[in-house]
C-alpha cells in the first residue's frame, strides 16, 4: 500500500504514519535531501508512461475516427449527430462551460465590481470630499478670525499708538517755556485735588 497511496508530507508527516502508509523513500542524513528508492522511482516512471501512452492512444483514435468520417466518408457525420443529438448539441455548445462561466464567475465579478464602485464613489470619495469641504470651511473661519480679530487688533494697536503720538506731539515742542507752563498747570491741579475742604 505504501507504494500506491501517496500522502503528502504536509498532510501527514512521515514520522506519524503507520508502517503500511510510509512511502518508500529515505532521507539522507548528511545533506537533508530526500532520496527515492529504486522501487519508488520505477513506479513513478511507469505512472508517467501510462499517462503518456493513454493520451497518445486517445489522440490516435480521434485522428482515425476523423479520417473515417471526413476523409474516407465511411460514416456520415450528420447521421451520427442525429443519433446522439443531445450529446452533439452539448458538445457543439462547448459543454455550456462559457454560459456557466458567464453566469457564475463573470456575473459575480461584475456584480462585485459594481459593489466596489459604489463603495468607492459613495463612501471613500464621500469621506475625501467631506474632509475637503471641512478643510475649506475651517480655513474660511480661520481666515475670517485672522482678518477681523487678529488683524483688527493689530491695526487698532497701530491706530491707537498713532493717535496717542499725534495727541502728545503737541506737548513736546522743545521749548522750555512750554514745559514750565505744563508743570505749573499740573501743580495747580494736584493742589486742587488734594486740598482739604
Split at pLDDT 50, 70, 90, the class of 42 is confident
pLDDT digit string, tens, across residues 124-179: 999 999 999 999 999 999 999 999 999 999 999 999 999 998 888 877 778 888 88
Q: With contact defined as beta carbons under 8 Å apart, do 60 and 43 qualify?
A: no
% of the chain beyond a pLDDT of 70 = 79
Domain boundaries, the chain: 35-93, 99-196
Predicted confidence (pLDDT) at residue 101 exceeds the cutoff of 90: yes
State pTM to two decimals: 0.42
Predicted confidence (pLDDT) at residue 83 exceeds the cutoff of 70: yes
Per-residue model confidence (pLDDT) at position 44: 73
Amino acid at each position: 500500500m505504501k507504494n500506491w497511496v501517496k500522502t503528502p508530507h504536509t498532510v501527514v508527516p512521515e514520522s506519524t504514519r503507520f508502517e503500511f502508509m510510509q512511502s518508500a523513500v529515505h532521507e539522507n542524513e548528511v545533506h537533508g535531501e530526500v532520496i527515492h528508492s529504486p522501487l519508488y522511482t520505477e513506479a513513478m516512471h511507469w505512472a508517467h508512461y501510462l499517462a503518456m501512452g493513454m493520451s497518445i492512444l486517445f489522440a490516435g483514435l480521434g485522428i482515425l475516427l476523423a479520417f473515417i468520417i471526413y476523409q474516407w466518408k465511411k460514416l456520415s457525420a450528420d447521421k451520427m449527430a442525429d443519433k446522439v443529438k443531445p450529446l452533439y448539441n452539448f458538445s457543439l455548445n462547448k459543454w455550456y462551460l462559457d454560459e456557466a462561466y458567464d453566469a457564475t464567475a463573470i456575473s459575480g465579478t461584475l456584480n462585485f465590481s459594481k459593489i466596489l464602485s459604489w463603495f468607492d464613489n459613495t463612501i471613500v470619495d464621500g469621506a475625501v470630499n467631506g474632509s475637503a469641504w471641512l478643510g475649506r470651511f475651517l480655513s474660511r473661519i480661520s481666515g475670517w478670525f485672522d482678518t477681523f480679530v487678529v488683524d483688527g487688533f493689530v491695526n487698532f494697536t497701530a491706530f491707537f499708538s498713532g493717535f496717542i503720538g499725534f495727541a502728545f506731539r503737541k506737548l513736546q515742542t522743545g521749548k522750555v517755556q512750554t514745559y514750565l507752563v505744563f508743570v505749573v498747570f499740573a501743580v495747580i491741579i494736584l493742589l486742587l485735588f488734594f486740598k482739604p475742604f
